[in-house]
Amino acid sequence: MGEFELIRRFFASAACAAGGEGIALGIGDDCALLQLPPGEQLAISTDTLVAGVHFPQQADPFFLGQRALAVSASDLAAMGAKPVAFTLALTLPDARPDWLDGFARGLCAMARDCGIGLVGGDTTRGPLSLTLTVFGRVPAGLALTRAGARPGDLLCVGGSLGDGAGALPLVLGEMQDSGADAEYLLQRYWAPQPQLALGQALRGRATAALDISDGLLADCGHIARASGVALLVEAEKLPLSPALERLFPSEFARKCALAGGDDYRLAFTLPAAELAAVQAQWPEVAVIGRVEAGQGVHLLDAAGVELQPPALGYQHFGSQGD
């Protein structure tokens, strides 16, 4: 199994390696070369997924390829960046053509959806894991960081929360269900849609943003710390998918929404004056709280009384499994 042969055979297909705008040199040399339009910056993010930690050893390779790229592209969405290219470092115990074929098809399907081209990587022998590094471009000064939230801003999310965590019992085979609701949750887990268009539309509007990978409350903590503000989350306002609400008791569903990871929805802070324009184009954007002076993340009930944040008690195969 030669590195070059493997990479060429499975990943240098036209669909996946297709040159995105800005790729000056792709797979096959010591380095790839990217160029940026004047006035733009390059956004970079790296994520590793390890078998047995972040996904089951026996995960379907198509789903795995799809999910791995989606998870990484979601970090570009969170910065308001437009995807350009990615590299893949794939470590495999052996070279099974059927596995590689499925993985490559899943990866390339998501690459087409995101408009991102594979420009290089490394294939090594070892316990199954994959590291993706994604590159996007964003006009200088307009990237959405975690640091700009201001008292008075609204706290918003890009859609339903908790589906990723709700899918875990199904992913792990602890729960059997072949109905449409279960299928919806599995789809949300294996093929999360990075909110790329929303992220780009929030440039110059949102004051802070990230993607929810560690769980809403933990991720809101990152914004609160980086911005030096308090975030107030109103428990009753969390958007839950009908599938999650039908499949689980409401307390578990809410716990998934608050503390579960793997949703890859954007969470962002927005001046109130911007809300109508954003919701006109993204009606699924929900206001779930607000920014105040202070520090930390505070969970409130409908009467404004502070609640104890839930412990998820669920640490398998999620982003928490670092």
Q: How far apart are CA 269 and CA 4, in angstroms?
A: 45
Q: Is 54 annotated as a binding residue?
A: yes
Tokens 């306002």 -> residue:
237
Q: Is 301 annotated as a binding residue?
A: no
28 is a contact residue toward its own copies (CB under 8 A): yes
Q: Is 304 in the site for its own copies (CB under 8 A)?
A: no
The answer to whether the CB of 140 falls within 8 A of the CB of 39 is yes
**Within a 13 Å sphere around the CA of 13, how many CA atoms are in the beta-carbon half?**
16
- Write the CA distances from 57 to 49, 93, 121, integer angstroms: 11, 11, 22
**Considering only residues 266-285, where is the footprint of its own copies by CB under 8 A?**
none
**Residue 54 in the binding site for its own copies (CB under 8 A):** yes
272 by Cβ neighbours in 10 Å (0-12 / 13-18 / 19+) ranks as exposed
Least spacing, CB of residue 75 vs its own copies, in Å: 4
| C-beta closer to its own copies: residue 147 or 201 | 147
Question: Residue 121 annotated as binding?
Answer: yes
Q: Does the annotation place 65 within a ligand binding site?
A: no
Q: Report d(CA 226, CA 242) in Å as an integer.
A: 33
In the range 176-235, which residues lie near its own copies by CB under 8 A? Answer: 209-211, 226
Q: Got the DSSP string for 65-88?
A: HHHHHHHHHHHHHHHTPEEEEEEE
Amino acid (one-letter) located at 241: S
Q: Lay out the sheet containing 296-300: strands in order across.
A: 208-211, 266-270, 154-157, 286-292, 230-234, 296-300, 306-307
Q: Does 34 bind its own copies (CB under 8 A)?
A: yes
Binding letters toward its own copies, positions 135-154, x by CB under 8 A = xx-x-x--x-xxx-------
Single out the segment in contact with its own copies by CB under 8 A; choices: 49-57, 177-185, 250-258, 272-280. Answer: 49-57
Q: x/- contact string, 100-129, with its own copies (CB under 8 A)? A: -------------------xxxxxxxxx-x
- At closest approach, how far in Å is the CB of 197 from its own copies? 16
Q: Is 181 annotated as a binding residue?
A: no
Q: How many residues bind its own copies (CB under 8 A)?
A: 66
Q: Nearest to residue 7, comparing CAs of 26, 23, 28?
A: 28
Under the criterion CB under 8 A, does residue 247 sit at the interface with its own copies?
no
Only one residue has tokens 């085979």, namely: 173
Which residues does the annotation place in the binding site for substrate? 54, 262, 314
In the complex, which residues of this chain contact its own copies (CB under 8 A)? 1-3, 6, 24-25, 28-36, 38, 41-54, 75-76, 78-79, 81, 85, 87-89, 91, 119-127, 129, 131, 133, 135-136, 138, 140, 143, 145-147, 209-211, 226, 321-322
